[in-house]
Amino acid sequence: MDALNASIVLLGFATTPLELVAFVLALATVALNIRQVHWAWLFAILSSLLYGVVFYDARLYGDMGLQGVFAAVSVWGWYQWLRGGPQQDTLPVSALDRRGMALSVGAWLLGYVLLAAFLARFTNTDVPHIDGFLTAGSLVGQVLLSRKKIENWHTWIVVDVLYVGLYVYKHLALTAILYGVFVVLAVAGLRAWRKELPQ
Protein backbone atom coordinates (compact mmCIF):
# COMPACT_ATOMS: atom_id res chain seq x y z
CA MET A 1 0.00 0.00 0.00
CA ASP A 2 2.94 2.35 0.64
CA ALA A 3 3.94 2.09 -3.02
CA LEU A 4 0.41 3.06 -4.10
CA ASN A 5 0.53 6.14 -1.84
CA ALA A 6 4.06 7.17 -2.90
CA SER A 7 4.14 10.65 -4.37
CA ILE A 8 4.80 10.90 -8.11
CA VAL A 9 4.74 13.82 -10.55
CA LEU A 10 2.55 13.46 -13.62
CA LEU A 11 2.38 16.26 -16.20
CA GLY A 12 3.68 18.63 -13.56
CA PHE A 13 1.12 17.62 -10.91
CA ALA A 14 1.90 15.80 -7.67
CA THR A 15 -0.24 12.70 -7.26
CA THR A 16 -0.06 9.05 -6.21
CA PRO A 17 -0.68 5.85 -8.20
CA LEU A 18 -3.77 5.27 -6.05
CA GLU A 19 -5.22 8.71 -6.85
CA LEU A 20 -4.44 8.21 -10.53
CA VAL A 21 -6.33 4.89 -10.76
CA ALA A 22 -9.27 6.36 -8.81
CA PHE A 23 -9.21 9.34 -11.20
CA VAL A 24 -9.52 7.15 -14.31
CA LEU A 25 -12.28 5.01 -12.79
CA ALA A 26 -14.24 8.10 -11.74
CA LEU A 27 -14.05 9.56 -15.25
CA ALA A 28 -15.29 6.27 -16.70
CA THR A 29 -18.17 6.27 -14.20
CA VAL A 30 -19.50 9.69 -15.19
CA ALA A 31 -19.06 9.04 -18.92
CA LEU A 32 -21.15 5.87 -18.58
CA ASN A 33 -23.72 7.64 -16.38
CA ILE A 34 -24.32 10.21 -19.10
CA ARG A 35 -25.06 7.37 -21.53
CA GLN A 36 -27.17 5.56 -18.89
CA VAL A 37 -24.99 2.44 -19.08
CA HIS A 38 -25.58 0.43 -15.90
CA TRP A 39 -21.95 -0.79 -15.75
CA ALA A 40 -21.14 2.71 -14.50
CA TRP A 41 -22.08 1.49 -11.04
CA LEU A 42 -19.28 -1.10 -10.98
CA PHE A 43 -16.71 1.61 -11.80
CA ALA A 44 -18.34 3.83 -9.16
CA ILE A 45 -17.87 1.19 -6.47
CA LEU A 46 -14.20 0.64 -7.31
CA SER A 47 -13.45 4.35 -7.60
CA SER A 48 -15.19 5.10 -4.30
CA LEU A 49 -13.18 2.50 -2.41
CA LEU A 50 -9.89 3.85 -3.78
CA TYR A 51 -10.82 7.48 -3.13
CA GLY A 52 -11.71 6.54 0.45
CA VAL A 53 -8.03 5.76 1.01
CA VAL A 54 -6.89 8.93 -0.80
CA PHE A 55 -9.16 11.13 1.32
CA TYR A 56 -8.11 9.43 4.54
CA ASP A 57 -4.52 10.41 3.81
CA ALA A 58 -5.66 14.01 3.14
CA ARG A 59 -7.65 14.15 6.43
CA LEU A 60 -10.89 14.72 4.51
CA TYR A 61 -12.84 12.38 6.76
CA GLY A 62 -16.28 13.46 5.56
CA ASP A 63 -15.28 12.67 2.01
CA MET A 64 -13.65 9.44 3.14
CA GLY A 65 -16.84 8.28 4.84
CA LEU A 66 -18.83 9.46 1.86
CA GLN A 67 -16.92 7.07 -0.40
CA GLY A 68 -18.03 4.12 1.73
CA VAL A 69 -21.62 5.31 1.52
CA PHE A 70 -21.19 5.84 -2.24
CA ALA A 71 -20.06 2.24 -2.64
CA ALA A 72 -23.14 0.98 -0.76
CA VAL A 73 -25.57 3.33 -2.55
CA SER A 74 -24.02 2.30 -5.88
CA VAL A 75 -25.19 -1.28 -5.31
CA TRP A 76 -28.72 0.07 -4.74
CA GLY A 77 -28.40 2.43 -7.73
CA TRP A 78 -27.32 -0.42 -9.97
CA TYR A 79 -30.43 -2.37 -9.00
CA GLN A 80 -32.65 0.71 -9.45
CA TRP A 81 -31.39 1.34 -12.98
CA LEU A 82 -32.05 -2.27 -13.97
CA ARG A 83 -35.25 -3.05 -12.03
CA GLY A 84 -36.56 0.24 -10.55
CA GLY A 85 -39.01 1.07 -13.36
CA PRO A 86 -42.81 0.89 -13.14
CA GLN A 87 -42.89 -2.77 -14.19
CA GLN A 88 -39.65 -3.72 -12.46
CA ASP A 89 -37.89 -2.89 -15.70
CA THR A 90 -35.34 -0.26 -16.72
CA LEU A 91 -35.80 2.98 -14.78
CA PRO A 92 -36.65 5.99 -17.00
CA VAL A 93 -35.30 9.52 -16.56
CA SER A 94 -37.73 11.75 -14.63
CA ALA A 95 -37.87 15.04 -12.75
CA LEU A 96 -38.60 15.81 -9.11
CA ASP A 97 -41.95 17.27 -8.16
CA ARG A 98 -42.16 20.14 -5.64
CA ARG A 99 -42.29 17.78 -2.68
CA GLY A 100 -39.25 15.88 -3.91
CA MET A 101 -37.37 19.14 -4.44
CA ALA A 102 -38.20 20.33 -0.91
CA LEU A 103 -37.15 16.99 0.58
CA SER A 104 -33.85 17.07 -1.34
CA VAL A 105 -32.98 20.61 -0.21
CA GLY A 106 -34.04 19.81 3.36
CA ALA A 107 -31.96 16.62 3.42
CA TRP A 108 -28.93 18.54 2.14
CA LEU A 109 -29.23 21.25 4.82
CA LEU A 110 -29.87 18.78 7.65
CA GLY A 111 -27.01 16.58 6.50
CA TYR A 112 -24.70 19.60 6.40
CA VAL A 113 -25.55 20.68 9.96
CA LEU A 114 -25.10 17.17 11.38
CA LEU A 115 -21.94 16.32 9.43
CA ALA A 116 -20.21 19.65 10.05
CA ALA A 117 -20.89 19.38 13.79
CA PHE A 118 -19.62 15.80 13.86
CA LEU A 119 -16.47 16.59 11.89
CA ALA A 120 -15.67 19.67 13.99
CA ARG A 121 -16.09 17.80 17.26
CA PHE A 122 -14.70 14.34 16.57
CA THR A 123 -12.02 14.72 13.88
CA ASN A 124 -8.90 16.80 13.30
CA THR A 125 -10.09 18.16 9.96
CA ASP A 126 -9.37 21.81 9.28
CA VAL A 127 -12.38 22.23 6.95
CA PRO A 128 -15.41 20.80 8.80
CA HIS A 129 -18.04 23.11 7.29
CA ILE A 130 -17.21 22.85 3.60
CA ASP A 131 -16.45 19.13 4.00
CA GLY A 132 -19.81 18.59 5.68
CA PHE A 133 -21.70 20.72 3.16
CA LEU A 134 -20.22 18.97 0.14
CA THR A 135 -20.53 15.52 1.70
CA ALA A 136 -24.25 16.09 2.35
CA GLY A 137 -24.75 17.48 -1.17
CA SER A 138 -22.94 14.52 -2.68
CA LEU A 139 -25.20 12.10 -0.83
CA VAL A 140 -28.28 13.88 -2.15
CA GLY A 141 -26.80 13.87 -5.67
CA GLN A 142 -26.05 10.16 -5.47
CA VAL A 143 -29.58 9.27 -4.37
CA LEU A 144 -31.05 11.42 -7.17
CA LEU A 145 -28.71 9.77 -9.69
CA SER A 146 -29.74 6.33 -8.42
CA ARG A 147 -33.38 7.20 -9.14
CA LYS A 148 -32.49 8.82 -12.52
CA LYS A 149 -33.79 12.22 -11.44
CA ILE A 150 -32.51 14.89 -13.79
CA GLU A 151 -31.85 17.21 -10.84
CA ASN A 152 -28.89 15.02 -9.92
CA TRP A 153 -26.91 16.91 -12.59
CA HIS A 154 -27.80 20.31 -11.08
CA THR A 155 -26.64 19.03 -7.72
CA TRP A 156 -23.37 17.70 -9.12
CA ILE A 157 -22.62 20.97 -10.93
CA VAL A 158 -22.85 22.94 -7.66
CA VAL A 159 -20.97 20.33 -5.63
CA ASP A 160 -18.20 19.77 -8.18
CA VAL A 161 -17.47 23.49 -8.63
CA LEU A 162 -16.99 23.85 -4.87
CA TYR A 163 -14.95 20.65 -4.67
CA VAL A 164 -12.43 22.06 -7.15
CA GLY A 165 -11.62 24.83 -4.69
CA LEU A 166 -11.45 22.44 -1.74
CA TYR A 167 -9.07 20.05 -3.47
CA VAL A 168 -6.81 22.88 -4.63
CA TYR A 169 -6.66 24.00 -0.99
CA LYS A 170 -5.82 20.44 0.06
CA HIS A 171 -3.06 20.12 -2.61
CA LEU A 172 -4.90 17.31 -4.40
CA ALA A 173 -4.20 18.82 -7.81
CA LEU A 174 -5.16 15.81 -9.92
CA THR A 175 -8.44 15.39 -8.07
CA ALA A 176 -9.14 19.13 -8.45
CA ILE A 177 -8.68 18.71 -12.21
CA LEU A 178 -10.94 15.67 -12.13
CA TYR A 179 -13.70 17.67 -10.47
CA GLY A 180 -13.25 20.45 -13.02
CA VAL A 181 -13.83 17.83 -15.71
CA PHE A 182 -16.83 16.58 -13.70
CA VAL A 183 -18.41 20.04 -13.97
CA VAL A 184 -18.16 19.87 -17.76
CA LEU A 185 -19.47 16.28 -17.79
CA ALA A 186 -22.37 17.20 -15.48
CA VAL A 187 -23.43 19.94 -17.90
CA ALA A 188 -23.22 17.40 -20.74
CA GLY A 189 -25.21 14.90 -18.67
CA LEU A 190 -27.91 17.48 -17.97
CA ARG A 191 -28.27 18.24 -21.67
CA ALA A 192 -28.33 14.56 -22.65
CA TRP A 193 -30.87 13.57 -20.00
CA ARG A 194 -33.20 16.49 -20.84
CA LYS A 195 -33.79 14.79 -24.18
CA GLU A 196 -34.97 11.68 -22.32
CA LEU A 197 -37.61 13.46 -20.21
CA PRO A 198 -41.24 12.77 -21.12
CA GLN A 199 -42.82 15.76 -22.83
Please write the tens of the pLDDT for every residue from 65-90: 878 888 999 999 999 999 887 787 88
- DSSP SS3 for 14: strand
What pLDDT score does 124 carry? 86
What pLDDT score does 83 carry? 87
- Residues contacting 101, CB < 8 A, separation 6+: 151
Domain enclosing residue 143, as ranges: 8-86+96-194
Please give the helix or strand (H or E) that residue 15 lies within, else none. strand 13-15
Please write the tens of the pLDDT for every residue from 119-157: 899 888 889 999 999 989 999 999 999 999 999 999 999
Q: How many domains does the chain have?
A: 1
- Asked if the structure places residue 36 within a domain, the reply is yes
- Residues contacting 194, CB < 8 A, separation 6+: 150
**Could you give the percent of the chain with pLDDT greater than 70?**
92
- Asked if the structure places residue 142 within a domain, the reply is yes
Q: What's the predicted TM-score (pTM) here?
A: 0.85
Half-sphere exposure of 47 (CA within 13 A, CB side): 20
What pLDDT score does 87 carry? 80
- Asked if the structure places residue 53 within a domain, the reply is yes
Distance of alpha carbon 153 from alpha carbon 34, whole angstroms: 10
